[in-house]
Structure 1
């Protein structure tokens, strides 16, 4: 097995040459520490640069992942020592530097990793870019904000900033161009990407951004001060320390075993009630108490200043399906549907609930928009899926675009809808998503090769299949955008249409990504999620 040596600022790495599922080869450098382990006194603190090492460091295996609950076994896995990244390239000494793509995984800020279980590099690496995947701290360990200097929040976001700083210093050793870096992520990862585009801490570390099915203007994208403090105090109470003093809670939580801490968090906050409205306990916050804040002021104020780089926003055609049928949240029962039918308030996100009087729209009017006079039941489950998609994804993504377009930032904004539907969809099969349409998370099975397919006995896409065509189309557009800032710089066999950027906020021109991608137009006033307008009709 061929090995490849690379020297980074901290020491020498020994990577490994591997064969991809397509039969070509790439070089993998895995488990590279980009920060000191955030343990002991560093728990809840900003990341610290890694220590150098002497001699050779084996970079053939993935590093430990963040502490979390495994969605398949429901067991607590991972380690507090989790700040590792992985670099994939085809050549460490090319004639020219390659565009760099940095993947930020999703998982609701409480689960996931940059490993190949879901995010194998095989598809993207064929397109002549350098790919980086990474881990960051999750849940209470990554986002606890008690609003004093001992626990200021956004540790997970600052982890990603430190990874980007490491990339800026070292990526040229892997044939990457530190002056042409694109960050991309999905769901919580898309939210993190959106956050990074406006944070003063991340300025100059990347040059283009892709937010897939997640932005900070989604109701779950940012947590308010009182909610975050209360969530921290509730975990302390569950673990045996009932207090209203945040300093006392901090000292207590700092000493608890990391696995016990995350397990208590999951038991307390990943409840049935929260699953119904997709509310998340620990997400990005204003961290003005920090000496080095990620968000020194309200993120929306920063957002109105504009994103100063090309950006792609997008979503899948049936986002809500993911949360109703499958291994991630489990199948929603007939009994639960009856509960929702008797009290529709249960499925409205708390932040949305507070906004209803301002729209203005009542809970009964909102329900009628989606269900008419029908009951919430198995028969109308796609109506429920539509509602979840609208309140938790589509509405906020268009709001993010509106803010960017009104900011005066003269940078191209691209919008897509991924609507390709396939019985052999990797993510649909891995997660057993059973409803029609293209669910949240589903496009990732065509951007990446999920190695879980091997474990489950699922075959990769055949070269003559429609799935293979979508893989080629999606990876071509994403990597062209990374290289040039334009996802369709020239007509290619895999892409027969020119993807044009948005021009104004009345009609939203977007690329409908299907087996034959085509430009279409969305009119906000015709969308069901424009609740104020729909209420008037």
Structure 2
């Protein structure tokens, strides 16, 4: 065969391939046609990406502080300009691609259904974290997950002031960011078949505030039947930071900082909303930062008191997302009972080791022991509150104040902010449905940021687990063999759960033939310890949990909201 003939054949093959790819990259959904793009995994597997699909009308003007509305239809083929759009963040300055118009969904799929080619893959619906204040779907790429034959969906949702303002009445009952996520789940039910996904096999996933969001969806009546499984990494609706305290007061304080004449006596909540709708985004960002500060370490105090903007218990009404307190609902079994994979990292609050004010702040707790109390433990008398606070502190060291021990200070915050509420949710759920609990203790080379070792504390800080499941900020270069093995193990177990609602449905050499046991008895509660090896252990943090439970049972006052 001559060279010219060979070139001609190769050229024709490329043309045919491009035409086929071009056809595959256009998908018709309920609102119109959308255009996708080709992407590849680190293992050179090709997949389709459809980013920036509107799942709701832009929440602007009169729709600001309203529940999301279904989007309008469009003509032609949508080639979105919102592929990297992020919702307004709790940061001082407006960042590139940051916008109030941010209710977009992103779909990644290995196959597109065509005539004569039926595709029906399990779906993983990803809710990003960031304390309900920051974050976006673009920060956690799907590249690793796309090697496992699933459809991955990411949802953008309103954050902080714009997503979680609540006036505790029907003018703005709150939870609009969570209602955004819920409308996204309904969008998946209507449209995911067009991308090769099975609407009957949707599992919702979240880390940190995303995990708390997943927990809220288990409690939300209107989210029922939109998914069949849940994954929660390092977060729960039972955490103090996940539920607002005094949201109406926050709303008036916010307004008063901008206009000092506004207060609860002269301005109704309806008038308050009208005022808030006149504010530009930069004013909202500026006031939010003045009230709540910005940055991960600045979230430290909020972990105890509650974030300024997060979930809220709404007044009873037909469209309420959350009308009952979380702890009481899990305690009574009043939640959507689906299999759940849930767990924590070995030292969630290890990031506090780089906080130069940790000892000083811990000393404040030691001198004012009432600060050790969670919101449910409200015993009124300050003397009694201080006494109960000391009981909680004594769980960690009955002989000395915690500020003298960095490791115990960090352990207290790890337990209080993440581990205790997450573990308690797992325990309460396990009475009613399959629950698989884990602790990630493997510390590798792909840590998000270098955090110094603290003798006596665990090594794996908050959000480190993301590095083994997602391409964080587009980074896909993993060189350590230990990291590669841990990544393959976690990806296999997490995607197994999406496919089968069981992380270890059959023995695998990669998983050391480990069977991850579900929780069947709290007396010998099993959990998977993920380290250099995989091992089923029992009774995670039992001493801490038992001692705290005794205090909680005696002093906690209903309604029981957090733990």
TM bucket, shorter chain: 0.7 to 0.9
Q: Which residue of 2 aligns with 1:456?
A: none
Alignment of 1:67-466 (within 5 A): 67-70=88-91, 75-77=93-95, 78-93=98-113, 95-115=118-138, 117=139, 119-224=140-245, 227-241=246-260, 242-244=262-264, 245-270=268-293, 275-276=300-301, 278=303, 279-288=306-315, 290-303=317-330, 304-322=333-351, 324-325=352-353, 331-332=356-357, 335-336=360-361, 338-340=363-365, 342-345=367-370, 348=372, 351=375, 354=378, 362-374=388-400, 376-377=402-403, 380-406=405-431, 409=432, 411-422=433-444, 424-429=445-450, 437-451=459-473, 453=475, 460-462=477-479, 465-466=481-482
Distance across 2 between alignment mates of 1:100 and 1:532: 37
- Aligned with 2:301: secondary structure? helix
Deviation of residue 285 (structure 1)? 1.4
Cα distance in 2 for residues equivalent to 1:397 and 1:208: 17
Contact 2:170/2:315, CA 8 A, preserved across alignment: no
Structure 2 Cα separation of the partners of residues 235 and 197 of structure 1: 31
**Stretches of structure 2 lacking an aligned partner (at least 5 in a row):** 1-17, 553-563
Q: Which residue of 2 aligns with 1:16?
A: 37
- The 3 A distance-change label for structure 1 pair 523 and 418 is closer
CA distance in structure 2 between the aligned counterparts of 1:301 and 1:373, rounded to whole angstroms: 34
* Alpha-carbon displacement from aligned partner over 1:456-495 (angstroms, at most 9, x marks no partner): xxx7113x61111111111111111111111111122321
- Higher Cα Rg, which structure: 2
Using the TM superposition, give the Cα deviation of residue 274 of structure 1 relative to its aligned residue in structure 2, in angstroms.
6.2
Q: Mean alpha-carbon deviation: is it higher for 213-222 or for 201-210?
A: 213-222
Number of residues of Structure 1 aligned to a counterpart in Structure 2: 511
Residues 342 and 437 in structure 2, CA contact (< 8 A), matched pair in contact too? yes
Q: How far 1:214 moved relative to its partner?
A: 1.0
- Distance in 2 of aligned mates of 1:325 and 1:79: 34
Give the corresponding residue for 1:490: 506
1:469 counterpart SS class: helix
Seen in structure 2, the aligned counterparts of structure 1 residues 333 and 489 have a Cα distance that, compared at 3 Å, is closer
RMSD: 2.8
2:458 is equivalent to residue 468 of structure 1: no
Shift of the 362–356 alpha-carbon distance from structure 1 to 2, 3 Å rule, reads farther
Aligned-residue offset at 1:65: 0.8
Secondary structure at the aligned position of 1:319 is classed as coil
Residue 52 and residue 220 in structure 1: after superposition, are their counterparts in 2 closer, same or farther (change >3 A)? same
List alignment gaps of at least 5 residues for structure 1: 454-458
1:75 and 1:110, CA in 2 relative to 1: closer, same or farther beyond 3 A? Answer: same
Match of 1:521 in 2: 538
Aligned to 2:58: 37
Q: Matched residue of 1:281: which SS?
A: coil
Residue 370 of structure 1: SS of its match in structure 2? coil
Secondary structure at 1:151 match in 2: coil
Q: Normalization by structure 2: what TM-score?
A: 0.84
C-alpha deviation, 1:434, in angstroms: 6.4
